[in-house]
Structure 1
Amino acid sequence: MDEIGVLREAFGPEEVPSQAAENRARAALHQRMSSKEQRVIRIDRHRRNRFVIAAGAAVAAAAAVAAVAVVVSGGDDRPPAPVAAPTPSSPARGVLPFARPASAAEYLENAAWTAERKPWKEPRPDQFMYIETLELRNKPAYEREHPNDPIKAGMGETRKIQDWNSIDGQTKASYKDGRLVVTKRGEGGDTWDRIAWSTITSMTSPDKVPDGVRGPGSMGIDLDAFIGQYVVPPNVQAAIFRHLAQTPGMTMNPDAVNIDGRPAVGLGRIIEGYLSQELLFDKQTYQFIGERLVAIKDHVTHGDDGDSVSHRGDVYRQVIYSKMTIVDRPGDTQ
């Protein structure tokens, strides 16, 4: 690995230092490499966060960042100018908690860390949560006849779904037969339940996030469903990820693939002994992008209407959240 590769390794997989910082690092390291000194660089890989390497003595670092020591034997031991380290005032230049997450808990901590750094403006009660999904489904005719079947080869298609729900829970909208239909609670006897915004915004830490979300209008909805049905503040999304990281039985499927073939990681739990219920995250950015339900082994389910056979790899549900944002009115998408 060359000197800039070492520098990038210290910053983590996504945080690239400025050009000025790279130039300083290259000049300093080339100066040391041109001498006859023998140097050993030791990087503490057992700490969560890494610090930027500087040749010479150990470099003073921000309290949250692990130190990287450089040991020099003989010769001039004056350290070169240190490379600028990430600072709390510039969160995009921070260091991920785990450079190479090896478990569901570590990956979820990276996802929480990433979520916390998203911009956010508290919405007004009359604004709307807009959620746009791409769902992999069987073709309508086949789905009507076989509603519980997995996605069949040659039968699957991607459907774009758009939903708007007001922050105050009093209005919803969606497209039906190509027409945007807006419904007010109580119109024509139509009613529904939505979790109160005050309940959502109260979930600011893992201990405040129950497995079944409780509070006004909640109906004890599972977190796996909740996270894709509501646009929540970044600190709430981070708290949910950290709560899930503490949940027994969470597994990581590094080979999950999302709806358009881009690499994704699946984090979830085994249900009924043969199905993996997974939340999907972008493999590079740790962004939450969707969910899926997939069989992890062959299984036969006995029922009154006959046996249902599942095969390893069968996908029963796969949804990608292509957009989740706050908008002013139904029909708005940004």
Structure 2
Amino acid sequence: MDVTGVLHEAFGPDDVPSQAAENRARAALQQRMSSREPRVTSKDRRHRIRFAITAGVAVAAAAAVVAAVAVTRGDDHAPAPKAAPATSAVLPFARPASAAEYLENAAWTAERRPWTDPRPDQFMYIETLELRNKPAYENQHPNDPIRPGQGETRKIQEWNSVDGQTRASYRDGRLVVTKRGEGGDFFDRIAWSTITSMTDPDTIPDGVPGPGSMGVNLDAFIGQYVVPPNVQAAIFRHLARKPEMTVNPDAVNIDGRPAVGLGRIIEGYLSQELLFDKQTYQFIGERMVAIKDHVTHGDDGDAVIHRGDVYRQIIYAKMIIVDRPGDTR
């Protein structure tokens, strides 16, 4: 499906995006407002929503989605990938009905990915496809949902070293590699040892701790790091125990395939969801959509949200381990 087709699937023929076209899972958004809504300015809203979009986001449908996370090694003598767990080859739930059952199927699928532990000098490569407003419109209306006629799919490519010391991305068509502490581009990453320790659903934190006061919401974390299969499975099982997790009843077409949204209601009017392939239960993306009309009052005006407004939609096209920045396989 080409970009036009993807946007058509996301929005449908109506002027207002359908409820089945959204996503955004950001930790900051869960803390954006208290249960009693404070008075905020438009500047505050721009800061908060912009932060929610970018906080910890390396994250985001024009090409086929590669949602089963693969792992590559560049050396000829790399050990063979670890075999999948020797458990039943039958899905736990043939017809899942609840978020917990869907997430258990997702955990079961994740556990069967081949995996080779990366070296510290290798890189987590995450390629995402983000549905966003065109830059000119987005710069003028940073808080707006994705608008028909203004939306476009952007491919984002980022590389972060396993040891957290190097990152790379494309800027103006040029691959820029930054070492920690260089060029004023400050960044922190969660330690690999912390990531690999997250194998028990009972002890996984909702906020994954990082250096200093850094922390990443668990829903956002799985889109920012290439994690081992047993860690991803444990995260899904941890989320499955959350009573607030719900199943979005509307199927979403992602690159022509049906997807299911599993998530929670934020602030009473936003559905923050992780997206899974409805047939394979592979983790393929995230979205955030308004599930009902809402007005946020501010000193300099009101922000009006309409049911079906899409605030975030991201597809994870690749999440793999590579040898160096610029590698994509």
TM bracket (short chain): 0.7 to 0.9
Number of the residue aligned with 1:122: 117
Q: Which SS does the other structure have where 1:294 is aligned?
A: strand
SS of 1:207's equivalent in the other structure is coil
Rounded to whole Å, the distance in 2 between the matches of 1:260 and 1:130 is 21
| Pair 1:294-2:281 in alignment | no
Q: Which position in structure 1 is the counterpart of 2:266?
A: 271
TM-score, length of structure 2 as denominator length: 0.72
RMSD: 1.8
**Alpha-carbon distance between aligned partners in 2 of 1:109 and 1:155, rounded to the nearest angstrom:** 37
Which residue of structure 2 lines up, in the alignment, with residue 241 of structure 1? Answer: 236
| Shift in CA distance, 92/302, structure 1 to aligned 2, threshold 3 Å | same
Look up the match of 2:190. 195
The 1-side partners of 2:283 and 2:185 are apart by 32
Residue of structure 2 in register with 1:108 after alignment: 103
Match of 1:282 in 2: 277
In structure 2, how many angstroms separate the alpha carbons of the residues matched to 1:174 and 1:113? 32
CA pair 149-259 structure 1, distance change in 2 beyond 3 A: farther
Partner of 1:305: 300
Provide the C-alpha distance between the structure 2 equivalents of 1:189 and 1:277, rounded to a whole number of angstroms: 33
Residues 136-193 of structure 1: CA deviation (Å, up to 9, x unaligned) = 0001111001111111011110000000000000000000000000000111333211
Q: Which amino acid aligns with 1:176?
A: R
Q: Provide the aligned length of Structure 1 versus Structure 2.
A: 247
In structure 2, distance between residues paired with 1:228 and 1:123: 18
Structure scoring higher RCO (CA < 8 A, sep ≥ 6) equals: 2
- CA–CA distance in structure 2, aligned partners of residues 93 and 191 of structure 1: 45
The match for 1:229 among 224, 227, 251 is: 224
Partner of 1:214: 209
2:107 is the alignment partner of 1:98: no
Counterparts in 2 of 1:294 and 1:134: CA distance versus 1, 3 Å: same
In structure 2, which of residues 156, 174, 177 is the aligned counterpart of residue 161 of structure 1? 156
Deviation at 1:309, TM superposition (A): 1.1
Q: Take 1:90 and 1:191, find their aligned partners in 2: how far apart are those partners?
A: 39
| Aligned residue type for 2:300 | D
For 1:189 and 1:239, locate their aligned partners in 2 and report how far apart those are by CA, in whole Å: 36
The aligned amino acid for 1:209 is I
TM superposition shift of 1:91: 5.7
**Residue identity in the other structure for 1:328:** D
Decide which structure has the larger Cα Rg and report it. 1
- Where has structure 1 moved over 4 Å in runs of 4 or more? 88-93, 215-218
Segments of structure 1 that go 5 or more residues without pairing to the other structure are 1-87
User: CA contact under 8 A between 1:193 and 1:218: conserved in structure 2?
Assistant: no
Instruction: Please name the residue that 2:180 is paired with.
Output: 185
Aligned-partner SS, 2:103:
helix
> Which AA in structure 1 matches 2:164?
G
Question: What is the CA distance between 1:93 and its match in structure 2?
Answer: 7.1
2:130 to 121, 135, 150: 135
**d(CA) in 2 for partners of 1:217, 1:192:** 12
* Contact 1:255-1:263 within 8 A present in 2 as well: no
In structure 1, which of residues 143, 147, 152 is the aligned counterpart of residue 147 of structure 2? Answer: 152
Superimposed CA distance per residue, residues 202-221 of structure 1 (whole angstroms, 9 cap, x where no aligned partner): 00010121111125467221
Q: Aligned equivalents of 1:305 and 1:260: distance in 2?
A: 40
- Does the aligned pair in 2 maintain the 1:196–1:217 contact within 8 Å? no
One-letter amino acid of the counterpart of residue 296, structure 1: I
Counterpart mapping for 1:17-56 below 5 A:
none
Q: Secondary structure at the match of 2:233?
A: helix
**Mapped partners of 2:126, 2:213: distance in 1:** 19
Residues 129 and 316 in structure 2, CA contact (< 8 A), matched pair in contact too: yes
3-state SS, counterpart of residue 202 of structure 2: helix
Q: Which amino acid aligns with 2:177?
A: V
Deviations 1:41-65 (A, max 9, x none): xxxxxxxxxxxxxxxxxxxxxxxxx
